[in-house]
Chain A
Amino acid sequence: MNPLAALFMRDLKLAGRVGGGAGIGVLFFLIVIVLTPFAIGPDLALLARIGPAILWLGALLASLLTLDRLIAADAEDGSLDLILTGQTPLELAVATKALAHWLSTGLPLVIATPLFALLMNLDTQASLAVALTLLAGTPALTFIGLLGAALSVTLRRGGLLLTVLVLPLTVPVLIFGVSASNAAIVGPLPFGTPFTILCALTLVSFVVGTFAAAAALRHGIE
């Protein structure tokens, strides 16, 4: 079996099993959405107006929440050392891990979005627009977070530091994700402009996140 395919299947399986934490992200997302009306009041018109932004914020925080296990679990049980000493290029290996991580934690957020959008009083078209922007944008969050996960593993300090390092880098994704959603719902911008930039940000983060994370792992383990 191709080593990358093996790594991919292994990560997906681990995410689904006990202790994998694939569902916790979605649960956290739901709780953020439920807490919002308690903070700002049950005004349906207001909720519909800020709904896309709240959904994006919730998805951003939920995808950060699961990041610390992305590489740390492998570092603890020693499989990271195997990946590092293996023949497969490290860049491809970390990209595979990030992809599997996105499938198990990012994609569920996207699928849950149309459902949670009902709580925010969004109509069908609006909730599909938000889900589409999240589909294009959450991979960028995972790949930006990949760098944070790699850094915090090599430093052997996780959690809070990772969040502090990663969050400022997610600002562009958040801006264009929300503005694409709003463009689809209320205009006046055409949906295409911010959405294409969002896709571009995702592609850039594939490259930057992968290479930076691989460099961080290489330089950290010596």
Chain B
Amino acid sequence: MLLLDLANPTRFLTLVQRALPWLIGATAVAFTAGLYLAANAPDDYQQGATVKIMFVHVPAAWLAMGIWTLMSIAALGTLVWRHPLADVAAKAAVPVGAAFTLICLVTGMLWGRPMWGAYWVWDARLTSVLILFLMYLGLIALWRTVDDPSRAGRAAAILTLVGAINLPIIKFSVDWWNTLHQPASVLRLAGPAIHPTILIPLLIMAFAFALLFVTLHLAAMRNEILRRRVRTLMLMQAQAAPGSAA
């Protein structure tokens, strides 16, 4: 069982140490290819060059939702199986997820300015991504208020799962509330409505973004494990210090 092997943080650390250089290399290659193809992709007949914002905007949006899904799986790992690395994985994913959501929002605003004439319109999709961003910030606030990591981990896991149940409801209600954005055009039953000359660079960029996330996530998990070790060592040192009654 790979998951059980990974439960040992030391083994996980050696594995990360070995995998990280390759992941960084692969990310760099994927971004080079993706950006090259995106730069050479044809302009849209209506939107002109601004359509290129899509190559950053759409992968960031996919990741913003995908990372919450990943955190929900990690939350199950924390609550159900008590996997020792699950709450490390959940914690490390939060700031990265918030960052991708922010990238999605900012690029969306920059795209909206020439297309809709305003940086922010209260359109359904923008609004639900904004609420997703607020929920990421709430999770960060939760992690930052509690000093004991395992206690914070369980609380954050419950909030993550409740968020996972509520996010589709929020999405649905915001859609009801207002819609102006174009409907989903890549993932739909009738096949993609985007021409392959744009779709292929988009998918490569999405792959590059996913690689970037995996790299950042593993590095953040490594840092978190080391940070917890330092914390434990400092607590032990404080206990052993002369003068401390024990």
Contact call B173/A172, Cβ cutoff below 8 A: yes
Chain A residues positioned under 8 Å from B162 (CB to CB): 147, 169, 208, 212
Say whether chain B's binding surface is mostly helix, strand, loop, or mixed.
helix
Binary CB contact string for chain A from 157 to 172 against chain B (1 if under 8 A, 0 otherwise): 1000100110111011
> Which of B65-73, B151-159, B188-196 forms part of the interface with chain A?
B151-159
What is the number of residues of chain A that contact chain B, defined by CB distance less than 8 Å? 26
B220 at the interface (CB under 8 A from A): no
Instruction: Name the interface residues of B152-181: CB closer than 8 Å to any CB of A.
Output: 152, 154-155, 157-159, 161-163, 165-166, 169-170, 172-174, 176-177
Instruction: Name the interface residues of A108-160: CB closer than 8 Å to any CB of B.
Output: 147, 151, 154-155, 157
What is the number of residues of chain B that contact chain A, defined by CB distance less than 8 Å? 29
A204 at the interface (CB under 8 A from B): yes
Q: Which of A169, A175, A212, A216 has the most CB of B within 10 A?
A: A169
Chain A residues positioned under 8 Å from B159 (CB to CB): 147, 151, 165
Chain B residues positioned under 8 Å from A147 (CB to CB): 158-159, 162
Chain A residues positioned under 8 Å from B177 (CB to CB): 175, 179
Chain B residues positioned under 8 Å from A151 (CB to CB): 142, 155, 158-159
> Which of B9-17, B31-39, B130-138, B208-216 forms part of the interface with chain A?
B130-138
Instruction: Name the interface residues of B123-144: CB closer than 8 Å to any CB of A.
Output: 131, 134-135, 137-138, 141-142
Given contacts A161-B141, A165-B138, 6 further A-B contacts (CB under 8 A): A147-B158, A155-B142, A155-B146, A171-B131, A172-B170, A219-B157
B→A interface (CB under 8 Å)? 79, 131, 134-135, 137-138, 141-142, 145-146, 151-152, 154-155, 157-159, 161-163, 165-166, 169-170, 172-174, 176-177
